[in-house]
Amino acid sequence: MMSEPSTFADHGSWRVDPSQESQIETDATGRQVDQEVIAVFDSGFGGLNILEALTDLLPDERFVYLGDSLRSPYGDREPAEVREFSLEILDYLRRHYRLKLVVVACNTASALALDALRAVSEVPIVGVIDAAVRAIAQATHTSRVGVVGTAATIASGVYQRRLALETVTAIACPGLVEYVEAGAIDDPGLLALMHTLLEPMKMAAVDVVLLACTHYPYLGAQFLEVLGESVTLISSGEETAFEVRELLLGSRQVSTDTRHPGVGVEFLCTGPVEDFQRVGQRLFQGALDSVTRVELQPVGPGERQQISQQRVAHRLNSQQEYANG
């Protein structure tokens, strides 16, 4: 099944609400905000591999990464909880930064919260599902494909629906995230667990497997050991990073601002900073010397409605400006 390349129209509106310009003065660390940022958020740490790919592909962009480490992982939470947490993160980001684009670097949040986020966002929201679906559909030669992810991602059925023309073996892999975050990827117990979990996928003789959790690329060698070297692994995170670059290039929104050399990423977390740095430094190749702990606020139905109304009004104004030339 081949999908058409996505455009910014698929991800939401592009221009920031003018009302946001007067509201945002400083970022989470108190520094004056004078540049749009690409925000990347995850339930914890897995999205760091997407961030790493993005910083390589877009070296002149400014990034902010928010890991909800206090409530990680999302994979065993109820869908309503995941949506609420995601909306709280977006609300925090839009109140503290001049956003260019938001990357939902979490398969569970992408599967369960993407529509809710786009409904209230003034800027495009990019999840990790679209690019991954295109990549797996293009890579398979047998139409027998596998998807591994958290319990919530697999239960959502999003990949099974999107890959309807392929024969999909979708398997939830509880426990793998914990091994990655504990730095225990060489633990014999991990390989034993993976052999047990992935047996149905071996029996299905899949030729392509989508790693539908941003933690799983760190276990690429283990997946190949269990499934066989002939299997092609696709990382939803890497595919998403390439998609973001193509979207920015296509819309001529790539930054060429070199005023902030070496200060391209700001790290935020909701849990203890020391814990975030300890785990993050095992997964991220760059420096995590400066991390700020932030506190998220609940977003009630009234606030969501107000944000959504502002977004609709902004879109109508933009359309009128375009019509008037």
Give dist(CA 279, CA 1) in Å, integer: 38
Q: By C-alpha distance, which of 243, 183, 174, 244 is closest to 213?
A: 174
Contact 5, 239 (CB under 8 A): no
Hey, what are 287's tokens? Answer: 């420096």
The DSSP symbol for 20 reads: H
Residue 260 assigned ligand-binding role: no
Residue 42 assigned ligand-binding role: yes
**Alpha-carbon radius of gyration of the chain:** 20
Contact 102, 54 (CB under 8 A): no
CA distances from 228 to 180, 222, 285 (A): 21, 10, 28
Q: Is the dihedral of CA 157, 163, 164, 169 positive or negative?
A: negative
DSSP helix/strand/coil, 233: strand
Residue 47 assigned ligand-binding role: no
- The residue annotated as part of the active site, out of 106, 126, 152, 198, is 106
Contact 116, 83 (CB under 8 A): yes
The DSSP string of 24-66 is --B-TTSPBP-S-EEEEEESSSTTHHHHHHHHHH-TTSEEEEE
213 is catalytic: yes
How would you list the strands of the sheet with 62-67, edge to edge? 125-126, 99-104, 37-42, 62-67, 265-269, 291-293
Residue 96 assigned ligand-binding role: no
Q: Say if residue 142 is exposed, middle or buried (CB neighbours under 10 Å; 0-12, 13-18, 19+).
A: exposed
Residue 256 assigned ligand-binding role: no
Residue 214 assigned ligand-binding role: yes
Residue 97 assigned ligand-binding role: no
- The residue annotated as part of the active site, out of 128, 198, 213, 248, is 213
Residue 75 assigned ligand-binding role: yes
For residue 98, how many other CB atoms are within 10 A of its CB? Answer: 17
Contact 104, 81 (CB under 8 A): no
DSSP helix/strand/coil, 235: strand
Binding residues for substrate: 42-43, 74-75, 107-108, 214-215
Q: Which residues are catalytic?
A: 106, 213
Binding residues: 42-43, 74-75, 107-108, 214-215
